[in-house]
Amino acid sequence: MTDFREDGAAALEWAARYLERVPELPVLAQVRPGELTAKLPASAPEQPESFADVLRDMDELLLPALTNWQSPRFFSYFAVTSSEPAILAELLAAALNQVAIVWRASPASTELELRVADWVRQLLGLPTGWHGHIEDTASTSTLAALIAARHVTGRDVVVCSEHAHSSVEKDARMLGMELRKVPVDDELRMRVDGYDLDDVACVVATVGTTSFASVDPVRELAERAHAAGAWLHVDAAYAGSSWICEEERWSADGVELADSLVVNPHKWLLVPTDCSLVWTARPDEWREAFTLTPEHLRTSDEAFSLADSGRRSAAASGR
């Protein structure tokens, strides 16, 4: 029999100890491919184990096979920043297990999410009136933006920098949209001249490219996109969080002209993966692209439903 309180306290102690020790642990996993699999039973155990044994497995089996993204010496891929308050929030969210598909399914999740998205909008200095919600990742957020852009423009072409994140290409592939990659200038910024946008649904500008942190000229790209009737999506997944600091606001130049924009709190805003925030300046058209209310979700409530924001995953809607 598990004792939730006792085992929970032991889990919290394990987590606290892990966070204390992580600076000293090797950053890279200390295993070869398949080494952990060979130590795991081939089928699920028939008998329960004590929670102490589970935690021992965490130490002996899993820890050596972890790449320690939480290490202060981790400088690969991109930064993640799970913090102690956010870890406790995950615990409480899991206990409540809300699925906020429509307002009635979880008024608290819906209203808290919309309000907090607006707090972050204010902190980042984004325009009043933009509508924000949580997606699991920037990849999903950009996918949703491309869907909205295609809906609004009736076109099928996506344009981005050759240094845009691979998610833009993957999203275009998933949607069967054509992707055109534009070369960059000496500062690795997407060129604004020399290509035609007349048949383009969406221009994706990146603020903080993954490999170089270069910043595309958002203002010029927005002006050209809008003149051609295209949507302008800003991928600020990586660098957008820095706008909290006034001295970093230079890289936000022109983002107020965007039709949509994504920032990843799971990168620099102290929350664990997955948590991405996407805003749109055109909430009515965005919603129109996604609204689809099946019989089982119809209610008489006159309230905003997160399902209409295009969010795919019920798991993310539990936040």
Binding positions for ligand PLP, rule: CB under 6 A: 78, 137-139, 165, 167, 206, 208-210, 235, 237-238, 264, 276
CB of 259 to ligand PLP, least distance (A): 17
Separation CA 266–CA 272 (nearest Å): 5
Angle 283-290/138-153 helices, nearest 10 degrees? 90
CB of 49 to ligand PLP, least distance (A): 34
User: Which residue carries 């949509």 as its tokens?
Assistant: 260
Q: How far is CA 218 from the centre of its chain?
A: 21
Pick between residue 138 and residue 306 the one whose CB is nearest to ligand PLP.
138
CB of 235 to ligand PLP, least distance (A): 5
Angle 138-153/166-175 helices, nearest 10 degrees? 50
CB of 208 to ligand PLP, least distance (A): 6
> CA distances (Å), 181 to each of 130, 161, 190, 238, in order?
28, 5, 9, 20
Pick between residue 160 and residue 307 the one whose CB is nearest to ligand PLP.
160
CA dihedral 77, 138, 206, 291 (to 10 degrees): 170
Residues pairing with 263 in the sheet: 277
Pick between residue 102 and residue 222 the one whose CB is nearest to ligand PLP.
222
Q: Which two tokens stand for residue 275?
A: 């948590």
How is residue 64 annotated by DSSP?
A: G
CB of 78 to ligand PLP, least distance (A): 4
Pick between residue 208 and residue 283 the one whose CB is nearest to ligand PLP.
208
Pick between residue 109 and residue 206 the one whose CB is nearest to ligand PLP.
206
